[in-house]
């Protein structure tokens, strides 16, 4: 399984210096690796003011950074992720986000949104590509909260990655693993879920059509595998610039 970076967070209730309860967002700090991160790698932020930032009509990067710093409960903590506001607006306690290669193999294509729907059905909310930061958080706050339903298990950000969330860490992680790895959700895998034959056939049909179109254009079609990196993507499929989590 290839995750390719990302960030995670947990929401807690803690006591401030006056002994009053405060909702806290612990979100991954910049400069820490997801594979080796420790408690010190998470930035503790007051949840309410961070979530409220998503209600502003606009917010530049510098003001966003100052807003996040002002919400910090620990001046010695690392700078919080540029995706902190997005973590704050998602209502679940545990939020996991990766730039998973398996998801990018689906979404970094001209028909990425259709492929995501073929593979995941309506269990994820699909968000068009938006530069990470305030604009992405605001878009997700509006679209996710409008489209989520009782079976929503995650959110796919086209050309970016995957979000899953849950009230407990184990469920959030299992939802994430199930959707970023090959066997169950990548139709090119050796095994697959028996309850998804229509989606699998649809995915192959879509990939075949894409390969034919790429061939007609003289482009380089990707191999039928979620882990097959495109050696030389055509300009139309090149991944937009993405900041690290």
Contact 183, 196 (CB under 8 A): no
Q: How far is the CB of 245 from Zn ion (least distance, A)?
A: 5
Ranked by CB distance to Zn ion, the top (closest) residue is 245
Number of H helices, E strands in the chain: 9, 7
Contact 99, 163 (CB under 8 A): no
Residue 187 vs 245, nearer CB to Zn ion: 245
Q: How far is the CB of 5 from Zn ion (least distance, A)?
A: 7
Contact 118, 203 (CB under 8 A): yes
Query: On the CB side of 107, how many CA atoms lie within 13 Å of its CA?
Result: 24
Q: How far is the CB of 100 from Zn ion (least distance, A)?
A: 10
Q: How far is the CB of 65 from Zn ion (least distance, A)?
A: 17
Residue 162 vs 206, nearer CB to Zn ion: 162
Residue 133 vs 161, nearer CB to Zn ion: 161
Residue 8 vs 109, nearer CB to Zn ion: 8
Question: Which spans of this chain sit near Zn ion (rule: CB under 5 A)?
Answer: 161, 245
């Amino acid at each position: 399984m290839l995750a390719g970076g990302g960030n995670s967070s947990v929401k807690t209730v803690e006591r401030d210096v006056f002994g009053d309860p405060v909702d806290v967002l612990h979100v991954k700090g910049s400069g820490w690796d997801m594979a080796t991160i420790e408690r010190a790698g998470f930035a503790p932020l007051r949840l309410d003011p961070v979530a409220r930032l998503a209600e502003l009509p606009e917010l530049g990067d510098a003001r966003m950074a100052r807003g996040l710093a002002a919400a910090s409960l620990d001046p010695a903590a690392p700078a919080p992720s540029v995706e902190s506001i997005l973590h704050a607006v998602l209502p679940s306690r545990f939020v996991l986000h990766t730039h998973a290669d398996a998801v990018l193999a689906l979404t970094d294509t001209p028909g990425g949104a259709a492929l995501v729907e073929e593979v995941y059905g309506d269990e994820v909310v699909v968000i068009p590509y938006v530069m990470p930061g305030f604009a992405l958080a605001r878009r997700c706050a509006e679209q996710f909260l409008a489209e989520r339903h009782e079976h929503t298990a995650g959110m796919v950000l086209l050309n970016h990655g995957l979000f899953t969330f849950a009230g407990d860490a184990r469920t959030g992680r299992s939802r994430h693993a199930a959707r970023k790895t090959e066997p169950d959700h990548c139709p090119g895998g050796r095994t697959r879920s028996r309850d998804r034959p229509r989606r699998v056939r649809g995915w192959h049909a879509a990939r075949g059509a894409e390969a034919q179109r790429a061939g007609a254009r003289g482009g380089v079609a990707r191999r039928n595998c979620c882990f097959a990196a495109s050696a030389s993507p055509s300009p139309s499929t090149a991944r937009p610039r993405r900041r690290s989590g």
